[in-house]
A and B are shown apart, each in its own frame.
Chain A
Amino acid sequence: MPEPFESFTSRVIPLPAENVDTDQIVPARYLKATDKLGLGEALFHDWRFTESGEPREPRFVLDRPEMAGRQILLAGDNFGCGSSREHAPWALVAWGVRAVITTSCADIFRNNALKNGLLPIIVDPERHAQLFELAAANSAVEISVDLESQLVHLPGDEDLEFDVDPFSKLMLLRGTDELGYLLDQEPAIAAWEGSHEPRVDTRGATVA
């Protein structure tokens, strides 16, 4: 279960590539694990390492020494497209990333991220470009993420508002998960099932 999401301040990891798919975030060969451990190492593995396992030169952004400990990924458009693998947000969280700022996220990735304490922050293309410029001009620039007030604080007291699903926001702030909420819906689920015939029985052929 994720920890309650608290405001934080961090430098940013700029990754301007658009359409970053979850096969890049975690290559499929790392999906054979039956737990969530060690996925930080798999994160962007093939963008970080050559086919023979050597770190690529120049180093992939995550592996540059100054990027260590940064918690905000500033990513290109349509981040997290493709496969539904939740290993992608698991790996990002294992690496220490707590927010992804982009112009859009793939639907399944967004859902998966929100369930793991990883906040997707969607900004308009103009602001997005400004943030990249800011990070390029000063790699050490710090920005703050405040989920409660739905604001990103930029240097010079500039604030950037963002939208977040109100339900997901509540879950993140409380650090509770959706399964708990769903389990509390048991009376409604039981009532619905009482008035709706099951559509199929996977155990054997439907009896005439």
Chain B
Amino acid sequence: MPLDAPQRPRTLVDKIWDDHVVAEDLGAPAVLAVDLHLVHEVTSPQAFTGLRRRGLKVRHPERTVATADHSVPTTPRNLPILDELAAAQVAQLETNCREFGIPLHGVGSPSQGIVHVIGPQLGLTQPGMTIVCGDSHTSTHGAFGALAFGIGTSEVEMVLATQCLLQRRPKTFEVRVDGRLAPGVTAKDVILALLAQIGIAGGTGHVFEYRGEAIDALSMEQRMTICNMSIEGGARAGLIAPDDTTFEYLGGREHAPKGPAWDEAVARWRALPTDVGATFDRSIILDASALEPMVTYGTNPGMGLPISAAVPDPAAQVDPAHRRALEHALAYMDLRPGQTILGQKVDVVFIGSCTNGRISDLRLAAAAMDGRKVAAGVRMLVVPGSDEVKREAEAEGLDDIFRAAGADWREAGCSMCIAMNGDQLSPGQYAVSTSNRNFEGRQGKGGRTFLASPLTAAASAIAGAVADPRTLAGIDTFAAIGGR
């Protein structure tokens, strides 16, 4: 190409991809360099075993970071891990990190937390990076304009050994969200609305790029909520172009560049957004101002509805496979076609997870709970996404609000999102959960999950049934709460 030829307009994903291709043999996938590798206790042990068997080292322990989050109890930290398997898994992570020289933010550390909460919090997550983790919600880090995606344990081993992965270039999928969100409608509702529209396989083979007025107006934490659930649409990654909101969040964080290096980094990051004229393989447009609070009714995150809408009727489904799936889901959930989820009795309310366990989520829920009580017979768990989020919430007195309301204020971890640590539903129980998956048994065998925003969850805890957060007193003022 002649030097003066204009370069083809590129998307954000193209730019990050092109920056990280180490090699590409004919017919083979690209060897893609990984800038940051996040490790947790559940999907890494077999990878370290593989390294030992082959006599390999971790190529870049200083580009790798670990924490324990999935199987750790959220009971006080001075208590031992009672589940022997979980205790052994956490101990194995500690051994592996020590042996291979990987920094560990382990149980008891002030920087422990859900891997997708601590990465951004520590300033490790930065624009333009490639970030991987043996966890499908790695897509969270895309909020910073990083290409971040979940991998399997074999790939964890590859990245540990070579700091690279073999990848085919993904297709791109533009998700444009125009307009402004109404009071009581949050980032969680945006992503649930997208999933309800495109289904849980709608983004397979693609990477989402979220853009538009509504996305630009979101805080970093809200952007993380949206990117987090990209995988629920089948897309391994979902990105948002970095902007001043991104840089304000990052500046001054422990691992963010400092001094002249910061200015250089910002200059580099400002060149990342998708070029004018760049094209996407697919596009969809949502109108934020038309969105309502969303809630799921079924057994996958695409089975969602505006909160006042009626549960669909399987008989109206043309495709027999869809009809069977819907019948099966409604039977599992014990719901009837035509009913609303609004008003459905709940047993448990869970606020937390890598989707909605950050400080702004807790502030919103606390604002809704302030001076009110969790309804009789409802158990409410509030689980901060990290130890730092917990300290911050306690400094603001949010824990007092939750406790006074009758909620359980816990230690940081994945908790009832994946129900590996003892926090779980009993068979048949209904939960309103701010987490990301309503699969059968996800929150405990036989448990039934309604996914919703922290505001909807808090309103439901007070009502003892699924409630519309727009009925909360002072809801018009809540938009000013979030922050960051």
Residues of B within 8 A of A24 (CB): 439-441
B473 at the interface (CB under 8 A from A): no
Taking a contact as CB atoms under 8 Å apart, the answer to whether B71 and A32 are in contact is yes
- Give the residues in chain A near B162, CB-CB below 8 Å: 179, 182-183, 185-186, 189
Contact of A199 among B27, B35, B201 (CB under 8 A): B35
Q: Does B401 contact A (CB under 8 A)?
A: no
**In whole angstroms, how far apart are the Cα atoms of A46 and B444 in the complex?**
11
Residues 163-208 of A at the B interface (beta carbon under 8 Å)? 165-167, 177-179, 181-183, 185-186, 188-189, 192-193, 196, 198-203, 205-208
Q: Within 8 Å of chain A (Cβ to Cβ): is B31?
A: yes
**Which residues of chain B (193-217) have a CB below 8 Å from chain A?**
200-201, 204-205
Cβ of A17 and Cβ of B166 under 8 Å apart?
Answer: no
Stretch at the interface among A57-65, A106-114, A134-142: A106-114
The residue of chain A having its C-beta at the shortest distance from the C-beta of B170 within the complex is A107
Interface residues on chain A, size class:
35 or more
Complex Cα gap A59–B88 (Å):
34
Does chain B have a CB within 8 A of A96? no
- Tell me the complex Cα distance, A51–B428, Å: 11
The stretch among B252-260, B338-346, B366-374, B386-394 that forms the contact with chain A is B252-260
Q: Does B325 touch A at the CB level, under 8 Å?
A: yes
Q: Does A31 contact B (CB under 8 A)?
A: yes
Contact A104 B204 (CB under 8 A): yes
Q: Does A19 contact B (CB under 8 A)?
A: yes
Please state if B42 and A32 are interface contacts (CB–CB under 8 Å). yes
Beyond A167-B166, A206-B257, 4 additional contacts (C-beta under 8 Å) are A78-B200, A78-B234, A83-B135, A193-B163
Q: Which residue of A lies closest to B428 (CB)?
A: A51
Return the CB mask of B48-84 against A: 1 if under 8 Å, else 0.
0110001010001111110000110000000000010
Contacting residue for B204 out of A23, A51, A76, A78, CB 8 A: A78
A28 near B442 with CB under 8 A, answer yes
**Which chain B positions have C-beta within 8 A of A51?**
427, 445-446
> Once the chains are docked, how many angstroms separate the CA of A177 from the CA of B56?
15
Docked CA distance A177–B161 (Å): 13
Q: Are A23 and B88 in contact (CB under 8 A)?
A: no
Q: Contact at A84–B86, with CB atoms within 8 Å?
A: no
A203-B62 contact in complex given A23-B442, A82-B136, A116-B154, C-beta closer than 8 Å: yes
Per-residue CB proximity of B4-21 to A under 8 Å, as 1/0? Answer: 000000000000000000
When A and B form their complex, which 5 residue pairs have the shortest distance between CB atoms, in order from nearest?
A: A208-B259, A112-B152, A32-B85, A34-B45, A86-B152
Q: How far is the CB of A8 from chain B (nearest CB, A)?
A: 22
Residues of A contacting B50 in the complex (Cβ-Cβ under 8 angstroms)? 179
For A178, list chain B residues within 8 Å (CB).
154, 158, 166
Cβ contacts under 8 Å, B46 to chain A: 34-36, 86
A-B contact count (CB 8 A): 223
Verify A206–B261 contact, CB threshold 8 A: yes
For the complex, what is the distance from the CA of A183 to the CA of B31, rounded to whole Å?
11
> In the complex the two chains form, what is the Cα distance from A203 to B23 in whole Å?
28
CA distance A162 to B23 in the complex (A): 28
Return chain B residues, CB-CB under 8 Å to A206: 255-258, 261
**Minimum CB–CB distance for A128 against chain B, Å:** 9
Chain B 434-476 interface mask (CB, 8 Å, partner A; 1/0): 0001011110011000000000000000000000000000000
Q: Most chain-B Cβ atoms within 10 A of its Cβ — which of A35, A81, A183, A186?
A: A81
Smallest distance from the beta carbon of B156 to chain A beta carbons, Å?
Answer: 9
> Are B151 and A208 touching (Cβ within 8 A)?
no
Q: Which A residues between 61 and 77 are near B, CB-CB below 8 angstroms?
A: 76-77
Beta-carbon contact of B204 and A182 below 8 Å:
no
Chain B contributes a number of interface residues (CB within 8 A of A) equal to: 88
Rounded to whole angstroms, the CA-CA distance of A116 and B46 in the bound complex is 13
A85, B168: Cβ atoms under 8 Å? no
Asked whether, in the complex, the Cβ of A83 is within 8 Å of the Cβ of B441, the reply is no
Given A82-B437, A183-B161, A16 and B324 contact (CB-CB distance below 8 Å): yes
Query: Within 8 Å CB of B83, what residues of A?
Result: 32
**How distant is the Cα of A145 from the Cα of B103 in the complex, in angstroms?**
46
CA distance A35 to B153 in the complex (A): 11
A33 to B224, CA, bound (A): 30
CB distance from A51 to the nearest CB of B (A): 5
Chain B contacts for A201, CB-based, 8 A: 62-63, 255
A-B pairs with beta carbons under 8 Å apart, 25 shown: A17-B328, A23-B440, A27-B441, A28-B418, A31-B71, A31-B420, A36-B46, A46-B440, A81-B200, A84-B134, A85-B42, A108-B151, A108-B152, A166-B27, A178-B154, A178-B166, A181-B28, A185-B162, A189-B22, A199-B128, A202-B36, A205-B254, A206-B256, A207-B258, A208-B260
Structural contact, A179 and B29, CB atoms closer than 8 A: no
B155 at the interface (CB under 8 A from A): yes
Residues of A within 8 A of B92 (CB): 34
Set of chain A residues within 8 Å of B282, measured between Cβ atoms? none
Interface residues of B in 208-239 (CB under 8 A from A): 231-232, 234, 236
Picked from B157, B321, B324, B427, the residue with its CB within 8 Å of the CB of A179 is: B157
Q: In whole angstroms, what is the CA distance A85 to B155 when docked?
A: 11
B152: contacting residue among A27, A111, A192, CB under 8 A: A111
CA distance A19 to B151 in the complex (A): 19
The minimal Cβ–Cβ distance linking B42 to chain A, given in whole angstroms, is 5
CB atoms of B22 and A200 under 8 A apart: no
Contact between B439 and A23, CB atoms less than 8 A apart: yes
Q: Does B186 contact A (CB under 8 A)?
A: no
Evaluate contact between B158 and A179: CB separation under 8 angstroms: yes
